Amino acid sequence: QKEVEQNSGPLSVPEGAIASLNCTYSDRGSQSFFWYRQYSGKSPELIMSIYSNGDKEDGRFTAQLNKASQYVSLLIRDSQPSDSATYLCAVNRAGTALIFGKGTTLSVSS
Amino acid sequence: GAVVSQHPSRVICKSGTSVKIECRSLDFQATTMFWYRQFPKQSLMLMATSNEGSKATYEQGVEKDKFLINHASLTLSTLTVTSAHPEDSSFYICSARDSLSPYNEQFFGPGTRLTVL
């Protein structure tokens, strides 16, 4: 069974610190990897996508992918209280539905 | 770009009635849309995959006769919850995949909160 695993948290970091969120997946054929942010009571919002090994940076966010280790991570630099949310890792193969992890809750304290 | 809308955002209905939820991709074409359900403090659960012009594919345990899906155009999919009961109360969220994008990105609508009395 294809699975995506995330530590449920909560992960607590002080404002200004780096938050590190991790995700592992079981399907070696996975081709696309995504991080979504979901605020309480809202729908998920796509914040990062990555398709090849290495790092991808977008503003304060950096996604890291290691296909050999079946591992994808999200780093949030200079964390802000507004970053407090649940972060969902999702993976898929071409043409298939996303498989989501259960999410990691991040709490950034001011 | 990549905006997905859902209507209504919130609905309260009596037990036994049917509720239709619309999902639209506003600025892209989506041959494939997905319907999810999320109960409080739980993870997203994929209910079905909706393909334009063909029958939806339902996940195991999801009753296709209760959750009717129609994907009649490249920008619109509808989910009808038939004979709704209180246990169907949940947050229903659709997502759409851009048909022309090679990256398999899915964009979510804002969700519909259904309360069945």
B106 vs A46: CB contact, 8 Å cut-off?
Answer: yes
B89 pLDDT exceeds 70?
yes
The reported pLDDT for the residue numbered B102 is: 76
Residue B95 is predicted with a pLDDT of 95
pLDDT of residue B100: 82
Among A51-55, B27-31, B76-80, B81-85, the range scoring the smallest mean pLDDT is B27-31
pLDDT at B41 over 90: no
Q: Which of A43, A97, A100 sits opposite B110 (nearest CB)?
A: A43
Least confident of A92-96, B66-70, B85-89: A92-96
- For range A54-79, the mean pLDDT: 97
Amino acid at A59: G
Given this model, what pLDDT does residue B113 score? 97
Summary mean pLDDT of chain A: 94
A46: nearest Cα among B32, B91, B105, B27: B105
Record the tokens describing residue B69, joined without a space: 């899906």
pLDDT of residue A62: 98
Mean per-residue pLDDT for A60-79?
97
Please give the share of chain B, as a percent, with pLDDT higher than 90. 74
Centre a 10 Å sphere on the Cβ of residue B54 and count the other Cβ atoms it contains. 9
At residue B42 the predicted structure's pLDDT band, cuts being 50, 70 and 90, is: confident
**Which residues numbered 61-100 in A keep a CB inside 8 Å of some CB on B?**
88, 90, 92, 94-95, 97-98, 100
Give pLDDT tens digits for A33-63: 999 999 999 999 999 999 999 999 999 999 9
Q: What single DSSP character describes residue A18?
A: P
* pLDDT band of B53, cuts 50, 70, 90: confident
Mean predicted confidence (pLDDT) in B31-40: 93
* pLDDT class of B107 with cuts at 50, 70, 90: very high
B1 has a pLDDT exceeding 70:
no
3-state SS, residue B4: strand
Q: How many CB atoms lie within 10 A of CB A46?
A: 17
Contacts of B96 (CB under 8 A, 6+ apart): B4, B23, B25, B28, B30, B32, B33, B34, B77, B106, B107, B109
Q: Judge whether residue A98 has pLDDT over 70.
A: yes
Are residues B109 and A49, on separate chains, in Cβ contact within 8 Å? no
CB A103 within 8 A of CB A6: yes
Task: Specify whether the CB–CB gap between B95 and B107 falls below 8 A.
Answer: yes
Question: Which chain A residues are within 8 Å of B106, Cβ to Cβ?
Answer: 34, 46, 90, 98
Other Cβ atoms closer than 10 A to A13: 17
Indicate yes or no: CB of B46 within 8 angstroms of CB of A31: no
